[in-house]
Amino acid sequence: MNKIHAAITAVNGYVPDYVLTNHELETMVDTNDEWITTRTGIKERRILKGEGLGTSDMAVPAVNGLLKKRGIGADEIDLIIFCTSTPDRVFPATANILADKIGAKNAWGYDLQATCSGFLFGLATGSQFIESGKHKKVLVVGGDKMSSMIDYKDRATCIIFGDGCGAVLLEPNDEGNGIIDSVLKSDGAGLPFLHQKAGGSARPTSHETIDAREHYLYQEGQSVFKFAVTNMAEVAAEVMERNNLTANDIAWLVPHQANKRIIDATASRTGVSSDKVIINIERYGNTTNGTLPLCLWEWEDKFKKGDNLIIAAFGGGFTWGSIYLKWAY
Ligand code: UT7
């Protein structure tokens, strides 16, 4: 019997309607379109507006659309892995909230927190349940409402992030397609450079933490940039080398969308030509857990069965990694 791989069999995405342009940001902080475009590649990002709406509210249309495309009901899903750094609430898990909203009555689920590498880690984790034979349908959702933790007075971070969500379905494949290999890494020494200072158990919310603006995302951009630019490229190259893949074998490079310059460095290190590199950062900015599924969603029509994809990510923590998969449809 052929080995069972976990293959993506459907993908869908959702971005909110509101477009926050560089020009609007110019009216909010001391910045300009030229600086943002040349330093990051971003032109605009989407923002989820509306009282009481959270990350799960972007996941609902993404997942409902996915189920429709695949022609299955929510009750057929076995497991939901919700990869997010902006859960609806600290608890319960957003996976549970989503399951309830879409009627996934037979699924269990959990949230996965690995910042910008979350969706990649979710794919790697979800695939284990398929390969082991435990489950037949695993939903991996990646999404963030980054606007909920961004300080729109901090020009170094508010220009980068946006809101969005995507989802994929993993199912068993015995034709040799699906997730073939992964290299996954974490290093807790990265904490000082990218974190949220308060709101967790170590520093619970108080008047003091709010007055000190400690609930916003804190980033030392240059330090993160240095780690990201080297590590995302290295790990993508590593997964290619150990699978004997050269740039010519790769149909698509799918990089996390944090900064166009980091994406270019990864493309350059792997040798993959720019026409095979998926980039939508100019329209969505960095949606954290949303970037990779949104890329897969927007390029789905261009993928062919058997295409070799290299997915790579780097995020706070630090966390980083790369997955080699063969597209299954
Ligand atoms: O996805 C999660 C992981 N995160 C990342 O991968 C992000 C990695 N970091 C980056 O992408 C970049 O470091 C940033 C885009 C955040 C910043 O770009 P940079 O080229 O590293 O700029 P910088 O922080 O070195 O700042 C250069 C200058 C500074 O001014 P001085 O000190 O040279 O006078 C900043 O104050 O640019 C200034 N600056 C800005 N100017 C206009 C910072 N932000 C802005 C801004 N508009 N929005």
* Centre of ligand 1 from the C-alpha of residue 40, in Å: 9
Nearest CA to ligand 1 atom 30: 156
Rg (C-alpha) for the chain, rounded Å, is 19
Pairing type for strands 44-47 and 18-21 reads antiparallel
pLDDT for res 2:
84
pLDDT digits (tens, 9 = 90+) for 83-135: 999 999 999 999 999 999 999 999 999 999 999 999 999 999 999 999 999 99
Nearest CA to ligand 1 atom 42: 31
* Centre of ligand 1 from the C-alpha of residue 156, in Å: 5
- Cβ of residue 155 lying under 6 Å from some atom of ligand 1: yes
pLDDT digits (tens, 9 = 90+) for 142-155: 999 999 999 999 99
For residues 64 and 77, is the Cβ–Cβ distance under 8 A?
no
The DSSP annotation for 92-139 comes to S-HHHHHHHHHT-TT-EEEEE--GGGHHHHHHHHHHHHHHTTS-S-EE
pLDDT for res 155:
97
The residues, any chain, with a CB within 8 Å of residue 88's CB and separated by 6 or more, are 54, 55, 56, 94, 97
Domain range summary for the chain, segments of one domain joined by +: 5-175, 180-326
28 by DSSP, 3-state: which? Answer: coil
Per-residue DSSP letter, 161? B
* Centre of ligand 1 from the C-alpha of residue 221, in Å: 6
The reply to whether omega before 318 is within 30° of 0 (cis) is yes
- Cβ of residue 230 lying under 6 Å from some atom of ligand 1: no
Task: Look up residue 4 and give its two tokens.
Answer: 């069972």
Q: Is the pLDDT score of 267 beyond 70? A: yes
Closest CA to 322 of 229, 248, 254, 245: 254
- Cβ of residue 39 lying under 6 Å from some atom of ligand 1: yes
- Cβ of residue 116 lying under 6 Å from some atom of ligand 1: yes
CATH 3.40.47.10 fits 180-326, yes or no: yes
Decide whether 5-175 matches 180-326 in CATH topology. Answer: yes
Pairing type for strands 217-219 and 5-14 reads unpaired
pTM of the entire predicted model: 0.97
- Cβ of residue 169 lying under 6 Å from some atom of ligand 1: no
Mutation probe of ligand 1 site: the residue of 20, 28, 39 with most atoms within 8 A of C-beta: 39
CATH class of 5-175: alpha beta
Ligand 1 atom closest to 288 (CA): 1
> In what side-by-side order are the strands of the sheet with 108-112?
5-14, 163-173, 138-145, 79-83, 108-112
* Centre of ligand 1 from the C-alpha of residue 152, in Å: 15
Mutation probe of ligand 1 site: the residue of 34, 225, 261 with most atoms within 8 A of C-beta: 225
Q: Is the pLDDT score of 282 beyond 70? A: yes
The residues, any chain, with a CB within 8 Å of residue 297's CB and separated by 6 or more, are 11, 12, 13, 166
Closest CA to 291 of 85, 124, 140, 142: 142
Mutation probe of ligand 1 site: the residue of 30, 222, 289 with most atoms within 8 A of C-beta: 222
Task: Look up residue 21 and give its two tokens.
Answer: 């342009």
pLDDT digits (tens, 9 = 90+) for 58-80: 999 999 999 999 999 999 999 99
- Residue 67's φ and ψ, nearest 5 degrees, are -65, -40
pLDDT digits (tens, 9 = 90+) for 287-302: 999 999 999 999 999 9
Active site residues: 116, 256, 286
